[in-house]
Structure 1
Amino acid sequence: MLRNDDDHQLVAKAVAALRDAMLAGDGATLQAMTMDQLTYGHSNSRLEDKAGFVGSLDGKNAFKALDLSDHAIQVVGDVAIARHTFDCVNNLADGKTSTAHIKVLQVWTKVDGSWKLLARQASPLPA
């Protein structure tokens, strides 16, 4: 059995790997890293299921840049809560870009020794 510190590091690696897969538009990795029951909440309250989340990024260059900071991770048994600040530059369909500076909460669960994303909710930062 892994110590909590080991799980904390593995969750941090999973958060970073999810970020990398989102930036790369790597649908296969996004598919593998998320639970079938995924609920993915955006800062504008729009919700996606796993198919919507993966489909919106798979094979696409959705992000010009994507950085995560201010990490906080708490592991409770086979569940982990990860919080961070999410800063990105989005590539829009018309060739323009937009930016986002939001807070994100992720809920991860350990399945067969691997951490998988179960839920994500974003919220605007206070003004």
Structure 2
Amino acid sequence: MKNHNAVEELIRELENKRYEAIVAGDFYAFKALAHPDLSYAHSTGVVDTLESYLDKCLGGFYVYHHIENPIESIKVIGDIALVFGEMNGEITAGGVRKTLRNKALAVWEQRDGEWKLLAYQPTPIPT
């Protein structure tokens, strides 16, 4: 895909699918969208690999109740797409219900014709 608008539209669709998957508890669908070398940071500063994140999700450590993910912009640079936006919602983490309001950066990489989530970094928005 060389057309930037088409790539941006696809990345927007993939972002929505990954959030829909985690809210639905469909972590196998999330895994299908993720790069094997995923670095998944949390607003607490904890960083998970794909394996450790999935273990926590499947074990019930993270329960996603609702998420809104407005995208501000998408920058495509070769086989990398940077998604700038927010991640706001309600989750339970370690048995504690939390309201999240974060700026977020997601990094997608295209390899062998498929886009995969390579990195994710949220930053809390001060109240």
Give the TM-score, by structure 2 length. 0.88
Report % sequence identity.
25
Unaligned runs of 5+ in 1: none
DSSP-derived class of the 2:5 partner? helix
Could you tell me how far 1:84 is from its partner in structure 2? 1.2
Shift of the 109–93 alpha-carbon distance from structure 1 to 2, 3 Å rule, reads: closer
Residues 49-102 of structure 1: CA deviation (Å, up to 9, x unaligned)? 0011222223858122111124311111110000111111113665x6321111
Contact 1:26 1:59 in 2 (8 A): no
DSSP-derived class of the 1:2 partner? coil
Q: Which moved more, 1:77-86 or 1:57-66?
A: 57-66
Aligned position for 2:68? 67
Q: Does 1:107 align with 2:113?
A: no
Unaligned runs of 5+ in 2: none
Aligned position for 1:124? 124
Contact 2:57 2:63 in 1 (8 A): yes
DSSP-derived class of the 2:45 partner? coil
DSSP-derived class of the 1:84 partner? strand
DSSP-derived class of the 1:44 partner? coil
How many angstroms apart in 1 are the aligned matches of 2:85 and 2:58? 23
Contact 2:84 2:104 in 1 (8 A): yes
Q: Does 1:13 align with 2:2?
A: no
Aligned residues: 126
Q: Give me the CA root mean square deviation.
A: 1.9
Aligned position for 1:47? 47
Q: Does 1:56 align with 2:56?
A: yes
